[in-house]
Chains A and B, each alone.
Chain A
Amino acid sequence: MKLTSGLLGAAALAASTGTAALAERGSDGHLNILYWQAVSIMNPFLSGGTKDVHAASMVIEPLARYDDGGQLIPWLVTEIPTVENGGISADLMSITWKITPGLKWSDESDFTADDVAFTAGYCMNPDGGCQQLTKFSDVDSVEALDPLTVKVNFSKPKPFPYGPFVGMESPVIQKAQFENCVGANAPNCTAENFAPHGTGPFRVADFKANDVVSFEANPHYRDAAKPGFATVTFKGGGDAAAAARAVLETGEFDYAWNLQIDPVILAQMEAAGRGKVAAAFSNSVERLMVNLTNPSPDLADARSTLEGGPHPFLTDPAVRRALSVAIDRGTLAEVGYGFAGQPTCNVVTAPDYNMSTANDECLVQDVAKANQILDEAGWSRGADGVRSKDGVRLSILFQTSTNAVRQDTQALIKAWWEEIGVETELKNVDAAVFFGGDQSSPDTYQKFYADIEMYTNLFPGTDAETYMTNWTCGEIPNPSNNWLGFNMPRYCNPNYDALVTKLASTSGTETRGEIVKQLNDMLMQEGAMIPLINRGTTIGHANSLEGIRLNAWDSHLWNIADWTRAK
């Protein structure tokens, strides 16, 4: 084992000296990055906001991460531990990482297994309010076996042990720097949180919170020829349209993140010829959540809970199927997302081994069929064109967060549902309130005081286990658990729960994928939700910027060390 890693290290060194002849660190000058949400803090454990995590990923790095194909690759370690190579114990209770020798922090001290173990203790401290705690779920202890070996012990068998220290949300921080910042002291370490020492290609030169971060190349970065850029300005503020304009039209900036604006405008800006737009896909699915419980205001406290009883009409499979078939997902994708949106009928859309093909009926809009389904189920049109049965009218309150694309989607769906005799009232709520989960607000997505709601969810990385747990009975938000929980449709099926339990004890990517597919199909066929669009993440970059490999599975800036300026 030792010999292998030594050889690998030597090989890596040889490779790096090889490129040194071609390029030189910092030879490409200055890079301007624009995120329309400004960076608040450089410590992802204290802020899980995507912009903070991305900015921090330029400085601090995980042991392993996902590449742009969704493949797990070693980053600060010599190889990905598996059961086959002995890195994962046979009982699935522990995983052992071998750190690449010779790694240095940006203050020139050595990167050791102690730092890794410290990071785990830092995040798992109960007083720290660590925002990436999920990454460390079921972790019993993390021990440094020797300076280059670290072992993670779990409290129960973990078929998928790549949670801690994998991906942008779980980087390693330096023990020497953060030693006094543990637990309740974590927020008080302003200087440390704003400029952490890292192993990454850049280090923080100046930090203005919620405004702009200035980076400079890390002089102790492991590859002497990288990064290509000497300095980086990471500006925040404005909105998506303004960010697109600054990259594509005025050329003031080289890279802009998350350009979710009307594709027609984006195309017009791209036509100015200064930059390009790119998209990458993972598991972000814009979906309609169907409320299977009754949201009637008359129920007072029992509103939208299992106790309040089933929904008057959305529990009818015919209605849910008709609602889904009446939607033209192709048009939704074209109007709201352009090439960054693909119609989908599944809630799990990637990687390939997770993807089901059993639900593709909904890919093609068929209003006639939807009407026929409703006719056959006994929902007949009244004088005002709205269908009803036994005094129950098909009248839907449809809520989502405030966002131009979502409001367009709402308007389109309303029009299609009108064609099949379903009346729709639209409601949009400020995102900070909708997703805020405030106990006193009636407008949160968890309380779901509406019939249908729309938003996007995804899971980080490639393993769907935690994600699929979202729709188990125990996850239903209700007053007794303070409306905490992710099971918005209030879907409760013992067979589903049993299958999720089985997933938790099954290993092997393909086998797990099969179970995920089954779970996905159950959710789709029993109508807990109506998927609409698989959303890509869109970025814009200057024509002169090269080396970008847009990654939807990890930080967009994961390979920023390789970025260069075309000469």
Chain B
Amino acid sequence: MSETSLNTPPHSKWLDIWQQFRSHKGAMLGMAVFVLITLMVILGPILWDLDPSKIDIRAKNQGPSWAHPMGTDQLGRDTFAAVLQGGRVSLLVGVVAMLLSLFLGALIGVLAGFFKRLDGPLMRLTDLFLALPLLPLLLVIIMLWRDTLRAAFGAETGIFLLIVFIIGITSWMQTARIVRGDVLALKEREFVLAARSVGTSNRMMILRHILPNVMSPIMVSATLGIANAIITESALSFLGLGFPSDFPTWGRLLFDGTNYMTLTPWRVLWPGLAISLTVLSVNYIGDGLRDALDPRLRR
């Protein structure tokens, strides 16, 4: 049963997980795609050195060509450069905000499910956050903290931190509710009762027995979360709450391109594909990770 892991030293457990993960074909493929996308957005702008905000009005709304592999937008800016440059922000915002939201969600969910005393207060807090209207909340947060953060961390880092914070703080609730529901059922299972009877501390109990068993909903939330973060970021900049309008991100490219769908379809095709591929790869990585972390599947 799951007790086997108690006697094995920790480093070999991580090795186990890695080996399990490697044997998962989908996960490895997802990992490869994700690494490829990451490398492209990190190195891409160095190799393809066209400035994404360079305007060339004579070359507007062009189709794909050698000079512009993904065509140009309504001001003649190069879409390929914008996709590469935009990926940096989108990926970073997506991953960091997703991790923040997962961390908050899992933490609150586990605490609420595991400790009876905390359940009421934490779940009512969740209700409150679910009920707050998003748009006014964003306007207030931006009004209160944008200038302070800008002053403290500089324009771009400040806005980045703010965006990650906003997305994280407004999207953890679903994860928290799901994790709590699972924990409520888990803690009455035989193996948990057994572990408790041998005097396992609460901390150990949560880390060893509870968390590994709620990994699958957390992994699904991760996939949903990264898509949500990338799209929300574009909505923020549209409201004037995010990065300046001439700063490309995938979500923004997709939003701006929507009206040009019939004129220059490739403008929406590429950013849309980039987002979908990222989400798909994260999904498969999540699948593999969940399988690798499942004590029953690991032999």
A residues adjacent to B (C-beta < 8 A): 241, 261-262, 264-265, 268, 297, 331, 335, 401-402, 404, 407-408, 410-412, 414-415, 425-430, 433-434, 440-443
28 examples of A-B residue contacts, CB within 8 angstroms: A241-B259, A261-B259, A262-B74, A264-B60, A264-B61, A264-B263, A265-B262, A268-B262, A335-B60, A335-B75, A401-B240, A404-B259, A410-B246, A411-B53, A411-B246, A412-B57, A415-B55, A425-B244, A426-B245, A427-B244, A428-B240, A428-B244, A428-B245, A430-B241, A433-B240, A442-B143, A442-B147, A443-B143
B238 beta carbon closer than 8 Å to chain A: yes
Q: How far is the CA of A410 from the CA of B53 in the complex (A)?
A: 12
Whether the Cβ atoms of A427 and B55 lie closer than 8 Å is no
**Complex contact A408–B74 (CB within 8 A):** yes
Complex Cα distance, B244 from A93, in Å, reads 53
Q: How many A-B residue pairs have CB under 8 A?
A: 70
Contact status of A430 and B245, CB under 8 A, knowing A331-B57, A408-B74, A442-B143: no
Contacts of A428 in B (CB 8 A): 240, 244-245
Counting CB contacts under 8 A, is B141 at the interface?
no
Is the Cβ of A402 less than 8 Å from the Cβ of B55? no
Interface residues of B in 41-87 (CB under 8 A from A): 53-55, 57, 60-61, 74-75
With both beta carbons as reference points, the residue of chain B lying nearest to A399 in the complex is identified as B240
CB pair B75–A402 under 8 Å, yes or no, is: no
CA distance A429 to B55 in the complex (A): 23
- Which residues of A have CB within 8 Å of B246? 407, 410-411, 414, 426
Q: How large is the interface on B (under 10, 10 to 19, 20 to 34, 35 or more residues)?
A: 20 to 34
Given A407-B245, A408-B75, A411-B75: A430 in contact with B263 (beta carbons within 8 A): no
Q: Decide if A268 touches B263 in the complex (CB within 8 Å).
A: yes
Q: Is A410 a contact of B245 with CB atoms below 8 Å?
A: yes
A410-B245, A412-B75, A430-B139 known; A265+B260 contact, CB < 8 A: yes
- Closest-by-CB residue of A relative to B143 is A441
Known: A402-B240, A410-B246. 14 other contacts (CB 8 A): A241-B259, A265-B260, A265-B263, A268-B262, A402-B239, A404-B256, A412-B57, A412-B75, A427-B240, A429-B240, A430-B240, A430-B241, A442-B147, A443-B240
Q: Give residues in B with beta carbon < 8 Å to A.
A: 53-55, 57, 60-61, 74-75, 139, 143, 147, 151, 155, 238-241, 244-246, 256, 259-260, 262-263
Q: For the complex, what is the distance from the CA of A144 to the CA of B217, rounded to whole Å?
A: 75
Of B60, B139, B238, the residue contacting A433 (CB under 8 A) is B139
> In chain A, what residue has the closest Cβ to B53?
A411
List the B side residues contacting A268 at CB < 8 Å: 262-263
- CA gap between A256 and B54 in the complex, in Å: 35
Q: In the complex, are the beta carbons of A297 and B147 less than 8 A apart?
A: yes
- Residues from chain A with Cβ under 8 Å of B143 in the complex: 440-443
Query: Could you tell me the distance in whole angstroms from the C-beta of A138 to the nearest C-beta in chain B?
Result: 38
Chain A residues with CB under 8 A of B54 = 415
B244 contacts which of A415, A426, A433 (Cβ < 8 Å)? A426
Q: For B240, list chain A residues within 8 Å (CB).
A: 401-402, 427-430, 433-434, 443
C-alpha spacing A434/B240, complex, angstroms = 10
Residues of B within 8 A of A264 (CB): 60-61, 74, 263
Q: How far is the CB of A239 from chain B (nearest CB, A)?
A: 9
Counting from the closest, the 7 A-B pairs by CB-CB distance are: A407-B245, A429-B240, A428-B240, A426-B244, A415-B55, A402-B240, A430-B239
Residue of B55, B61, B143 with highest tally of chain A CB at under 10 A:
B55
**Set of chain A residues within 8 Å of B61, measured between Cβ atoms:** 264
Instruction: Give the complex CA separation of A268 and B61 in angstroms.
Output: 13
Report the separation of the CA atoms of residues A265 and B262 in the bound assembly, to the nearest whole angstrom.
9
Q: List chain B residues, Cβ under 8 A from A410.
A: 245-246
Contact of B245 among A335, A411, A443 (CB under 8 A): A411
Q: Do B55 and A412 have beta carbons less than 8 Å apart? A: yes
Separation of A467 and B8 alpha carbons in the complex (Å) = 82
Q: Is the CB of B238 within 8 A of A402?
A: yes
Q: Which residues of B contact A411 (CB under 8 A)?
A: 53, 55, 75, 245-246
Residues in A with CB closer than 8 Å to B75 are 335, 408, 411-412
- Distance of B139 from chain A, by nearest CB (Å): 7
What separation, in Å, do the CA atoms of A264 and B62 have in the docked complex? 12
The chain A residue with its CB closest to the CB of B262 is A268
Closest residue of chain A to B239 (Cβ to Cβ) is A430
Closest chain-A Cβ to B196's Cβ sits at a distance in Å of: 53
Contacts of A412 in B (CB 8 A): 55, 57, 75
User: Which residue on chain B has the smallest CB distance to residue A268?
Assistant: B263
A443: which B residues are within 8 A, CB to CB? 143, 240
